[in-house]
Structure 1
Amino acid sequence: MKAVIINEFGGTDVLKIEEVERPVPAADEILVKVYASGVNPVDRVVREGGNDVLRPYLNLPLIIGWDASGIVEEIGSNVTNFKKGDEVYGIPNFPGNGSYAEYIAAKASQFALKPESLTFNEAAAIPLTGLVAANSIFDFGKLEAGQRVFIQGASGSVGNFAVQFAKVKGAYVIGSCSTDNIEFVKQLGADEVIDYKTQHFEELLQDIDVVFEASSVRDNNERLKSIAVLKKGGIFISANVDFPFDDAVKEAMEKKNVKGEFLAAQTNHLTWLNQFTQWINEGKVKVTLGKEYSLEEVAEAHEESETGQVRGKFILEVRKEN
């Protein structure tokens, strides 16, 4: 089978398409015939050698990519929740061999039946970013109906799901984004949208229950502003696990009795994947695709995604749908 493999860490030139043996599923695994894989910021981080959190777990050679959608080709002897031919999506083997490949073997617990209304490309846009959003605002942020949440980077691949999930739960949602994306974020359901290029959120907001740093901006001075808009006892969650809180941020959180959390690891995979499927099938959540690339265009996909000027999820189309 074809797969995108890195044999060394570095720039996009280390992304090589090679012929490798098709994996064999273990007893608790399924073999998925991959149709599409999402392209995520963490793919670049791993390609370049990881950060302090990931580096100890990375072993070369490595197939990257951790959003997959496809069809079950084989099931392990202990798998009872899937059968051959099921259309599935999930987050396979992070941070081990991933989904930039024609087939992948992964634990059945990392997959769910894909939403019926979605194409494979659309389904591959959901798992990793959806899980980051749900873990952050619900599992860590404890967001409840009626609470006020401020989502920074609301138009991004994580932020746009966070906006929609928070609305489904009945929260009051405030998002920040660039001028060009204001209408997009409003269409996602945000109750208020702040243009970070022309407005200062710290002058507009107060008594926020949860702030979610879904933006790729890494600036502890901006975090101080976020803490200032939280109510006492509020919660600040960051998806930027590679950028720690500095002493000033820690002091500000302690003074205001604010809890700060990093999303270091994804949890509750199957529970949330099944929830996403339900919400999408009910029409409560929609998927926004960015550009779609072939497996052979993987370097171009990485280069474009690294510009940061992205709305929606970039997709590697591993094979065409029939």
Structure 2
Amino acid sequence: MRAFIVKSYGKSKKLQMTELPEPTVKENEVLVQIYSAGVNLLDSLIKNGDFKLFLPYKPPFVNGHDVAGVVIKVGSKVSKYKCGDEVYSRVGDYRIGTFAEYIAVNEGDLALKPQNLSMDEAASIPLVGLTAWQALVEIGNIKKGQKIFIQAGSGGVGTFAIQLAKHLGAYVATTTSATNADWVKKLGADLVIDYKTEDFETLLKDYDLVLHSNRDTKILDKSFRILKVGGQLISLVGPPTPEFAEEIGLAWYLKLVTKFLSSGAKKKAKKANANFRFLFMRAEGSQLAKITALIEAGVIKPVIDKLFAFEQTNEAMTYVESGRTKGKVVIKVK
């Protein structure tokens, strides 16, 4: 099969197309023929080596986390899926490799593809959908009438999170450029802030939750200051915390590293009488099935910016890295 591999870590390195054997299927896995693969900033961060301390993939390995396709083989202990099923997934850590023609996926990481979506649309959903779900539902426990600030509303996570937050009954503020303001409002945002000309700290006060996705430390400081007492800041960009290290089973010395890295953010949270949480989303087929139900009910719609051919995988990665995407970028594999 054809696949794009990370041959060695590095920001200037490109993925390399190569021929690999078709994956073998373990007893609790299915073999998926990949039709479409979503592209995420995480794919670039993995390639660059930004996560190798916590996710030490050993090059060469196939990159890619989001997939939509058809089951063509099932393991002996698989009970939920059969050959011919149309499925989608954000595959599990250490099982990545969706920039390829086939992938073996753990049964628990899969869900049936929404019937009202194309393969391309379905592939755009899993990582951003699960990120938003785990932030707003699982951790945030968002209730009707609460105020949520979602940074970067026109990005992949932002476009999904706005729709989910509105479904949960929240008042949603977000940032984007002026050219995207009306478009983001149509997704459900109540207040849209032009990050180029306006300061969100002067416009927002007593918010219940901030979904934080900006690496600028000044933005982090401001985000804490707009929270109400007892509010939550859930960060998608770090710093990683000891709680995160515990969740993914890191060694003791890495837990110490995360304690050091997150000490500043934890102090800021304490000063603001707020809670800080780093979210590194996980694969979860059962949650994806709940997202499927919302999509089939018309509550949430996929937002695709651009489609690329499989041969253009590196160009797709570069486009995502530009930070100019409106929604998701998808690669058509088949």
Q: Same fold (TM over 0.5)?
A: yes
Name the structure 1 match of 2:276.
260
8 Å contact 2:134–2:281 — kept in the other structure?
no
Range moving further from structure 2, 150-159 or 219-228: 219-228
Q: What is the CA–CA distance in structure 1 between the aligned matches of 2:275 and 2:123, rounded to whole Å?
A: 33
| Shift in Å, 1:176 | 1.3
Match of 1:290 among 294, 298, 305: 305
Instruction: Flag the 1:162–1:97 CA change in 2: closer, same or farther, 3 A.
Output: closer
Range moving further from structure 2, 175-184 or 102-111: 175-184
The one-letter code matched in structure 2 to 1:252 is: K
Name the structure 2 match of 1:226.
223
Instruction: Flag the 1:11–1:203 CA change in 2: closer, same or farther, 3 A.
Output: closer
Range moving further from structure 2, 286-295 or 87-96: 87-96
| Shift in Å, 1:53 | 4.9
| Shift in Å, 1:178 | 1.3
| Shift in Å, 1:69 | 0.2
Unpaired runs of 5+ in structure 2?
A: 241-260
8 Å contact 2:130–2:281 — kept in the other structure?
no
3-state SS of paired residue (1:160): helix
Instruction: Flag the 1:97–1:235 CA change in 2: closer, same or farther, 3 A.
Output: closer
Name the structure 1 match of 2:211.
212
8 Å contact 1:71–1:88 — kept in the other structure?
yes
List aligned pairs for 1:103-182, cutoff 5 A. 103-182=102-181
Per-residue CA deviation, residues 270-310 of structure 1 (Å, 9 max, x unaligned), is 22211111111111100111111112111111112111111
The one-letter code matched in structure 1 to 2:218 is: N
CA RMSD, aligned part only?
1.6
Per-residue CA deviation, residues 155-184 of structure 1 (Å, 9 max, x unaligned), is 110011111111111111111111111111
List aligned pairs for 1:1-322, cutoff 5 A. 1-11=1-11, 13-51=13-51, 53-55=53-55, 57-214=56-213, 217-241=214-238, 245=262, 247=264, 249-266=265-282, 269-319=284-334
8 Å contact 1:52–1:242 — kept in the other structure?
no
| Shift in Å, 1:238 | 0.7
State the percentage of identical aligned residues. Answer: 38
Q: What is the CA–CA distance in structure 2 between the aligned matches of 1:89 and 1:157, rounded to whole Å?
A: 17
Name the count of aligned residue pairs. Answer: 314
3-state SS of paired residue (1:158): helix
The one-letter code matched in structure 1 to 2:8 is: E
3-state SS of paired residue (2:156): coil
Q: What is the CA–CA distance in structure 2 between the aligned matches of 1:69 and 1:60, rounded to whole Å?
A: 25
Could you tell me the TM-score, scaled by structure 2's length? 0.90
8 Å contact 2:46–2:52 — kept in the other structure?
no
3-state SS of paired residue (1:293): strand
